[in-house]
Amino acid sequence: MQDRIAFVAGTRPELIKLAPVINSINAYVIFTGQHYDKNMSDDFFNLIKCDEFINLNFDQKGIFDHTKDMSKKIQSVLKETVIDKVVVQGDTNTTLAGAVASKLQNKFLYYIESGMRSYDVGQIEEYNRVIVSHLADINFCNHNLNKDNLIKENINPQKIIVTGSTVYSSVMQIDLDKEKINDKEYILLTLHRPENVDDKDRLNSLMEAINSLNFFTIFPIHPRTKKMINSEENNYENISFIDPQDYESFLNLINHSKFIISDSGGVQEEASILRKPLLIPRNYTERPEMLEKFNLLTPTPKNVTDESIKLINGESKLISNIKNSDLLYGKDEVVTSIVQNISS
């Protein structure tokens, strides 16, 4: 009898990265809706082909606001659907909730994108990564550095498989030949991490620095960020605020941009595949293997300004480095490897 497999996801990046694997396996999808936004998530539901899509309708203002309550709900679903194997991905509270639920129900747990470490103890995602790596029966890693991180934490090497990232397959299924959103050259900006948007002074300093470049900037504003910024009260004349984009439109924004400023880990991978320079307004990154080749850390607003000016003027080392660097996380063979391991 074939094993019954469930994928647990709750955010847009998780759906993006899991879709190529889900579509290659007969499986259930348990969606918590942790960061649900109609414009950001509905387009991905149409991309998923699965035996059953179970939407928990997670309400961040209600009872499922806590990871433990999410985990309890996931456990109920695992019992009712008689699941044998569970797959989680990434570093969100949904990832942790799914992993804990899996082990409490004695299910075999696979963890995609395991072994990433920023070593930033102020970041809740770092704790999620470490805990889930130790709970997993099999850890799928993007890169050998991730494997090394796990071995340093005394995780059994037999539980670690370096596969690469599924993002290449996600990107390649999209039509990247759409017309530009406008005729101007532009910077693409995304911000959503707590360290950037929960501190209004930090957020305003970043916005003022980017606006001061006098270069047209497109900002698809994340729901989390929108709550913290009022564009009508601030004179950001060089920044165009737009609604969150579906995945195809967003990848086309990346593809046609001059460069990107983003604190998103997923965008780092997507930008590298499309060979676009990226500045990371953070102190740390869980993907250090990409630094200098495809992106740079720019922790202060001044760093963002200085490196942006170099990119605008064609003087940044990233421009040539990107052209000469091999992709780090594999291509279509990644999904095949993960599917074979989960199905075996």
> pLDDT per residue over 217-251, tens digit each?
999 997 778 878 865 567 899 999 999 888 889 99
Average pLDDT on 77-95 reads 94
Residue 182 is predicted with a pLDDT of: 67
Do 105 and 245 fall within a single domain?
no
**Per-residue pLDDT for 84 more than 70?**
yes
CB 173 within 8 A of CB 205: no
* Average pLDDT, integer, range 165-171: 94
265 and 279 together in one domain:
yes
Residues 58-87, mean pLDDT to the nearest whole number? 82
Backbone torsions φ then ψ of 260, nearest 5 degrees: -130, 145
| 313 and 263 fall within a common domain | yes
Instruction: Please indicate, yes or no, if residue 177 is contained in any of the structural domains.
Output: no
Long-range pairs of 245-248 with CB within 8 A, sequence gap ≥ 24: 245/39, 245/220, 246/39, 246/43, 247/12, 247/16, 247/43, 247/44, 247/47, 247/170, 247/174, 248/43, 248/174, 248/175, 248/178
Please provide the average confidence, as pLDDT, over all residues in the chain.
90
Residues 55 and 119 in one domain: yes
More confident residue, 57 or 163: 163
Assess whether pLDDT exceeds 50 at residue 91.
yes
DSSP letter (8 states) at residue 188: E
User: How many CA atoms lie within 13 Å of 79's alpha carbon, on the beta-carbon side?
Assistant: 9
- For residues 192 and 155, membership in a common domain is answered with no
Selected residue with higher pLDDT from 115 and 16? 115
| Greatest Cα pair distance in the chain | 63
Give domain status of residue 223, yes or no: yes
Supply 240's token pair: 């165009």
**Has residue 340 got a pLDDT over 60?**
yes
Banded model confidence at residue 63, pLDDT cuts 50, 70, 90: very low
Whether residues 10 and 145 share a domain: the answer is yes
Question: Which CATH number fits the domain that encloses residue 270?
Answer: 3.40.50.2000
Q: Are residues 282 and 239 in the same domain?
A: yes
For residues 33 and 73, membership in a common domain is answered with yes
pLDDT by residue (tens digit) across 245-277? 888 899 999 999 999 999 999 999 999 999 999
Residues marked as catalytic: 192
pLDDT band for 148, please (50, 70, 90 cuts). Answer: very high
Q: What is the per-residue pLDDT for 235?
A: 81
Predicted confidence at residue 3, as pLDDT, reads 86
- Domain co-membership, 11 together with 154: yes
**Mean pLDDT over residues 106-117, rounded?**
97
Considering its fold, how many domains does the chain have in total? Answer: 2
- State the residue range of the domain holding 227: 187-324
Q: pLDDT-derived band of residue 175, with 50, 70 and 90 as boundaries?
A: confident
Q: What pLDDT is stored for residue 52 in this prediction?
A: 85
Confidence of residue 121 (pLDDT cuts 50, 70, 90): confident
Record the tokens describing residue 207, joined without a space.
Answer: 């916005």
Domain identity same for 159 and 41: yes
- Do both 227 and 290 map to the same domain? yes
C-alpha distance from residue 103 to each of 38, 59, 341 (Å):
31, 24, 19
Residues 153 and 194 reside in one and the same domain: no
